[in-house]
Chains A and B, each alone.
Chain A
Amino acid sequence: MPALAPSSRIALPSREQTTQEAWLALMRTTYKACLLRKDGREIEAAQLLGGELPEMIRKWSSRSGLSAAQCKDRLRSLFARAQEQIELSVLQRPSLIMEVCDRISAHGNPGDESPAPTGATATAVVRSIHLRQRIPIGDVSEMLDAIAEAEACSTSFGRRVAAPIPSRIEASLVCA
């Protein structure tokens, strides 16, 4: 009986794990580059965009199992999101980059998503509703207000904008 130990079932297979790690590294660098540009540190941003990012994209796209078109879509979405969030000044502290990346990645690796929903709106990013303050269980009304507030926040946070992929990065996809 080729039974696997239960613990080995929980761990991600190594390919998925490395794809996820590659995607996480890509996300962190993208956010970092956007943040640097926002701060006017163009040279450092360009170093990331032109130096590190293309290699990261090559690494991720070669492992993701996705077509070039799908990779481009994912990257467009990532760049749109990163630019929008930085523009909205949601991420003013670099330490938050890691947190946001981890939260997003915790909800799935783009390389292993299930098939696209039928007729349903799908987003690559999960923005869960979480309360920011503690509300007593007995205070249902306040809980509902807090959920509405959190939902409004996550909805505006989740607005999608079309953003071009920087040309040097697009070129790296062709090579991947």
Chain B
Amino acid sequence: MPLTSTESSNQPIIVPPSVNNAVLNKPARSAPVNGSATASTTTLLVGLDWGTNMSCLMTSPAGSADVAVKEQIPTVVGYASEAVLDQVLPGNSKVLFGRDAIKYRQNLTLVRPLQGGVIHDLPSATQFAQHLGSRLKGTATDVRAVIGMPASSDVAARENARAAVKGIFSKVIFVPEPFLAALGFRDETRLSDSTYQDPVLNSLYIDIGAGSTDVCLVQGHYPTGDDQLSAPFAGDAVDAIILEQILAAYPDCGMTLSRVREIKEKHSFVLGEDGSKSAIATVMVGGKARKLDVTQQVGAGCEALLDKVFVMTRDLIARANPETVAELLQNVIVTGGGSLIKGFGVALQTKLLEEGFENPRVRVLGENYKDYVAFGALKAARQAKDRQWQTLIG
């Protein structure tokens, strides 16, 4: 895995895997799926990371090594207010998705179809899935998707996801996201390279999403139940803490969760030096703009997450074979939206060191973390046998 420091902070960043080198936007071509489809069938394979806040879609014609479409779309649906005037929304649309929905949010009611990584609102999830379907290029008659699901998702979550994508994809497979992250993160083309450190041989993955934090051991095999820890404490919980503390300090500021989310994305930090630059949020109070210093509140929310992640990491390391721990500590990998918190990797590394772990090394995946799950899903789609696909009828 090529490692570079691409930003000025002390946060170690990993360069995205070979997916970024894939040839994009090549024309789709017809090919059989794992030797089963007929020659007349045009099959498109889809890898989908359907996240609470952001979804990542990758497609590839069956039989091709190319990635035809790679797109990140905010997982949000906006419904036009009845009072909205003509020509305000693009195409006079009644429903907007993703960045358009966020852009025109003043005139829309925004709905987030997912909570905690699973569908919470089926009608909007179905419409969002239809929007995803509209982003698929080409005229494939058979569209098959491998979809990432949170490690802790249940039967109902998968049933809802099936219902939402019915009519968009003809066949699906649901795979736990940690599996796909491991698969997507591995660069098979470099396995024969003696300098390449295979990230799935002995690593600990920390995925900090919106609704849950998942920590899992990947030691050459897909994680079993004993290799994983999951807690319903992640980005949303951080938002709630920040909001509560801001409202406690500034009761009349009219702060909302969506505004907190924006502030967090811009100012989140866990190390004192990263927080030395004040987080100043502008809010409207009684029609007047007011600047608030929310540095302490943002820091408190992020610190709470760091503490939670540290405890989970420590507990999972304790489950690992002692003989593997030294190498495991060299490969602690943080992914998910939480990995974007400034200083998170270094702070976690420091806490592990303070706890007495020898020479730990924590790496963060940075902005492109979504790509890994989607790319892993696409890899799984390419290797799935025909009998392994679940047909969606109706």
Contact = CB atoms under 8 A, between A and B. Distances in A.
Contacts of B163: 121
B150 to A, nearest CB: 9
A135 B379 CA distance: 16
Interface string A126-143: 111111111111001101
Nearest to A140: B383
Interface string B126-162: 0000000000000000000000000111111011100
A4 B153 CA distance: 32
Contact of A120 (B120, B152, B225): B120
Interface stretch (A23-31, A82-90, A146-154): A146-154
A144 interface: yes
Given A130-B225, A151-B158, A4 B300 contact: yes
Interface string B297-323: 100100110111001000000000000
Given A114-B115, A117-B119, A141 B385 contact: yes
Given A135-B221, A147-B176, A141 B122 contact: no
A140 B221 contact: no
Contacts of A108: 232
Contact of B155 (A9, A118, A123): A123
A137 B122 contact: no
Interface string A89-132: 00000000000000000111000001001111111011111111
A7 B241 CA distance: 12
Contacts of A127: 154-155
* Most A-side CB within 10 Å, residue of B120, B158, B173: B120
Interface in B346-394: 379-380, 383-385, 388
Nearest to B201: A137
A121 B155 CA distance: 9
State the majority secondary structure of interface residues on A.
loop
A10 interface: yes
A137 B220 contact: yes
Given A120-B122, A140-B384, A147-B176, A130 B233 contact: no
Contacts of A136: 220-221
B122 A118 contact: yes
B307 A131 contact: no
A2 B248 contact: yes
Query: On chain A, which size bracket covers the interface?
Result: 35 or more
Given A6-B303, A9-B241, A118-B120, A144 B232 contact: no
Contact of B153 (A1, A2, A129, A140): A129
Contact of B224 (A3, A7, A134, A154): A134
Contacts of A47: none
B304 A120 contact: no
Interface string B336-352: 00000000000000000
Contacts of A137: 182-183, 186, 200, 218, 220-222
B228 interface: yes
Contacts of B223: 131
B254 interface: no
A145 interface: yes
B179 to A, nearest CB: 7
B249 interface: yes
A39 to B, nearest CB: 28
A165 B241 CA distance: 39
Top 4 closest A-B pairs, CB basis? A130-B225, A119-B122, A134-B221, A6-B303
Interface of B: 115, 119-125, 151-156, 158-160, 163, 173-176, 179, 182-183, 186, 200, 218, 220-225, 228, 230, 232-233, 241, 245, 248-249, 296-297, 300, 303-304, 306-308, 311, 379-380, 383-385, 388
Interface of A: 1-4, 6-7, 9-10, 106-108, 114, 117-123, 125-137, 140-141, 143-148, 151, 154-155, 158
13 contacts: A114-B115, A119-B122, A119-B123, A120-B160, A123-B154, A125-B154, A128-B151, A132-B224, A135-B222, A136-B220, A137-B183, A140-B379, A147-B175
